[in-house]
Structure formats: C-alpha cells, structure tokens
Amino acid sequence: MDYRFSGRMNKLSGSATREILKLIKRGGVISFAGGLPAADMLPAAELAAVSDEILNSPRVKEIMQYDVTEGAPEVRAEIAEYLGDFGIHGIGADHVQIISGGQQGIDLSCRALLDKGDYALVEDPTYLAALQIITSYEAVPVGVKAVSDGLDLNDLEAKIKKYNPKLLYVVPTFSNPTGGTYSAENRKRIAEITAKYNIVVVEDDPYAKLRFSGSAVPSIKSMDTAGNVIYLTSFSKIVSPGMRIGAACAAPELLGRMTVCKQGIDVHTNSLAVAVIGEFLKRGIIKRHVEKVLPIYKKKQKLIVECLDKYFPDCYRHTNPEGGLFIWGKFEDAKLDTQALLPEAIETCKAAYVQGNVFYADGSGHDCIRLNFSNPSESDIERGIEALGRFFKSKIQSK
C-alpha cells in the first residue's frame, strides 16, 4: 500500500526518549532516561480504594456517561482551589479545563494559536515533546538563551523583535531537562515583556509540587495582569502518569478555544480518572502522598550528585536542582557526542541517559546529558553512575 501520509508530520521522528525506553525494556539496563515517578511510590492502595468506592456508588451511572468537554464542574472547582498553591487565586471552575495530561495542554495551546510558518519561542534547552508539538503544527520553535535565574531577558526581547512569535513555551519550575527554576523577578519580567508584545505564555508546571529544598516561587500565571498566560498543571508526577489527568487555567476566551480544539481530539478526559483525582484533592490524599515521596526524591538527588562528583570526569558540570525529577550536565570542552555514544553506553554500562541535543530547538547540546534520579533505586544510582562515569572518562581519554 502506498500510504499518502500528511506532509505536516514528515518532519517528525518518534520521541527520542520513547525509542530509548524500547532499548531499556529489553531488560537489565538501569534507566536514568525516563521521567517516571518511582514505581514503588505510586499511591496504588489509595487509587484502588477510591476507584472502588466510586464504581460502587450511585454516582457511577452519571460518571460513566459522556461528560462536558471541560470536565466535571465539581472537580474543576477543586482544581481551581488547588491552583491557589501556585499563587493563582480568585478563579473558579470556569477558568479550568481538565485535560488528558499536561502534554495535551501543550498540544491544545499550539493547536489554538499556531499556523503554518508561525514562530514559537522556547527555552534552550526545553521539553522535547514541546518541540515536536510545535513542529507538528508546521510552526518553528526558536530557542531563547537561559541564564542562572531563568530566561535571558535581553535575548527574549531580541528574539521577540526578530521573529514576532505568537507564543512562548516555558517550564519555569524544576525544568525538564535541566531541573532549573526561574526566580520570581525573572518570571515577573517575562509576564511584563510578553504582555507588552502580545504574546501568549504557555507555562508548563508539572513539577512545582516536587520541591524538596529551598522555597516556593509563585507561578508566572499569578503575575499575569493581561490575561496572556496559559497555566498547565498535571497529576502525572504527583499521583500517576497512567491516569492521564492535568488541567489548564487561562482567560475564558483562550480556554474556550482550547476546549473547542479538545472536542475534536477526545471529547473529554476519562471521567473515572477525573472523579478519582477530585476525591484525592478533596480528601488531602495528594498532599499526604507528596509529603511521603519528597524525602525519598531528596535523598536520591543528593546521592546522584555525590556519585556524579565522585565518578564523572572533572569537565562534567551539572545542575543541583531543588526539586523535580531531573539533573542536567555538560561535558565542558570535551566535544563528546552523547547521541552517538548512547547505544554503546547502554551496551557496555547497562545504563541509559538522554542525549542533550534532543532538547534544543536547533539540535545543539550534543555535549549534554539529562539524568532522571527518581526512578532508579539507590543501589542502581551508585552502580549506573559509576559505570557511566568510567565510560565517559574512557571516551575523553581516547580523544
């Protein structure tokens, strides 16, 4: 059969991390590659109990019918209250659209705003799926330089003037891939600059609850005076990715457009999962669960930092995140191609990382790697980082 695929999707290859996951699934490989919460930390008992309760209540007949695209109003009201934790106040159910994971929020934002040939600014480096989504709408992602406290504001303004972008996509808290967090001042200036130039900010914030040290920084959305920020939250990293539940919060006009876009994709998000998340919020289960996981992630982050400092080459400079799931580093002046080396690293070290270049709009970053510390066990962190350290040292010496 001669399939006549859409030209739109020709530029896209599959997600690099999904391809690596396939290699890892063959077994025996320590994975620092995924973005997974620790498997033994999923709230399985609570999920089973609350689902069972809902399925055996009279509500089941209503929940198992079609719902409105926005999602159940009482759960949206719970989420609106929950968003207060991120500094977003004075909103109700009408400001919230339930989405099938945060990823769908990125897609709906791009679908609502981007036309072929439009530009979208992203942080360099950024979440690789955002690059794919922007490209799938035939728009062009352009990287904005990062500095220690967020975006380089001069570069942001220069790129705005040069490209006239319609949107800016950022992960300002415990970013994927770097683990970095923008300061409050940087966020305020981003809100001001984008409002001045009529640009929508897609603030993707799935990691903010995973802070294990330092103090919380308010969201960009909480500083939005022009109605130009779409805030995306997700329950994937704090409850379960398999539930596929997130929420978007934006000005009604923007949210309305996203809702129309969602109608054509999946009509509405899985109502049983939505109801479970509603109960989890109402009963404080999420709060208690996060309190239980954070010390474990903190310990693992400390351990991976110690191991990197002990086993990796001296030229390797890494971030030291105060939360989230990732640590990021660069082999300074070593000219390593971490993409080319990955299959050999998996083969010889039985450990996997994600190559840096997939997170850059222009495909640079070959000398960087992203490591996840939440999913591997403590003994695997020690073993895997030691093996990778030996591997990278041998590659640098043989140059």
Closest CB to ligand PLP among residues 236, 357: 236
Beta carbon of residue 368, minimum distance to ligand PLP (angstroms, whole number): 16
**Which tokens in the block code for residue 45?**
């008992």
Where would I find the beta strands (DSSP E) of 44-108? 96-99
**Which tokens in the block code for residue 6?**
């859409």
Beta carbon of residue 202, minimum distance to ligand PLP (angstroms, whole number): 10
Give ∠ CA 274-276-278 in degrees, rounded to 5. 70
Beta carbon of residue 206, minimum distance to ligand PLP (angstroms, whole number): 5
Distance CA 248, CA 245 (A): 10
Distance CA 187, CA 191 (A): 6
In sequence order, the 6+-apart residues with CB closer than 8 A to the CB of 280 are 46, 50, 235, 239, 286
Beta carbon of residue 205, minimum distance to ligand PLP (angstroms, whole number): 8
Closest CB to ligand PLP among residues 321, 389: 321
Beta carbon of residue 382, minimum distance to ligand PLP (angstroms, whole number): 25
**Which tokens in the block code for residue 138?**
């035939």
Where would I find the beta strands (DSSP E) of 59-184? 96-99, 119-123, 140-144, 146-147, 150-151, 167-170
Residue whose tokens read 């073993």:
383
Q: What residues make contact with ligand PLP under the rule CB under 6 A?
A: 35, 101-103, 127, 171, 176, 204, 206, 234, 236, 241, 246
Q: Nearest CA to 48 among 276, 308, 293?
A: 276
Closest CB to ligand PLP among residues 35, 180: 35
Closest CB to ligand PLP among residues 269, 311: 269
Q: Nearest CA to 289 among 301, 300, 277, 299?
A: 277
Closest CB to ligand PLP among residues 132, 236: 236
Distance CA 305, CA 130 (A): 28
Nearest position to ligand PLP, beta carbon? 101
Beta carbon of residue 391, minimum distance to ligand PLP (angstroms, whole number): 25
Beta carbon of residue 156, minimum distance to ligand PLP (angstroms, whole number): 19
Closest CB to ligand PLP among residues 199, 239: 239
Beta carbon of residue 57, minimum distance to ligand PLP (angstroms, whole number): 27
Closest CB to ligand PLP among residues 206, 323: 206
Beta carbon of residue 42, minimum distance to ligand PLP (angstroms, whole number): 13
For residues 232 and 205, the answer to whether their CB atoms sit within 8 Å is yes
Closest CB to ligand PLP among residues 234, 355: 234
Closest CB to ligand PLP among residues 55, 216: 216
Distance CA 169, CA 105 (A): 11
Distance CA 288, CA 370 (A): 29
Peptide bond before residue 141 is cis, with ω within 30 degrees of 0: no
Beta carbon of residue 313, minimum distance to ligand PLP (angstroms, whole number): 27
Q: Nearest CA to 179 among 232, 127, 235?
A: 127
Beta carbon of residue 296, minimum distance to ligand PLP (angstroms, whole number): 19
Distance CA 112, CA 108 (A): 6
Helix or strand (DSSP H, E) at 305: helix 285-311
Closest CB to ligand PLP among residues 99, 346: 99
Residue whose tokens read 């208690």:
288
Residue whose tokens read 């480096």:
125
Q: Nearest CA to 24 among 16, 33, 15?
A: 33
Closest CB to ligand PLP among residues 177, 329: 177
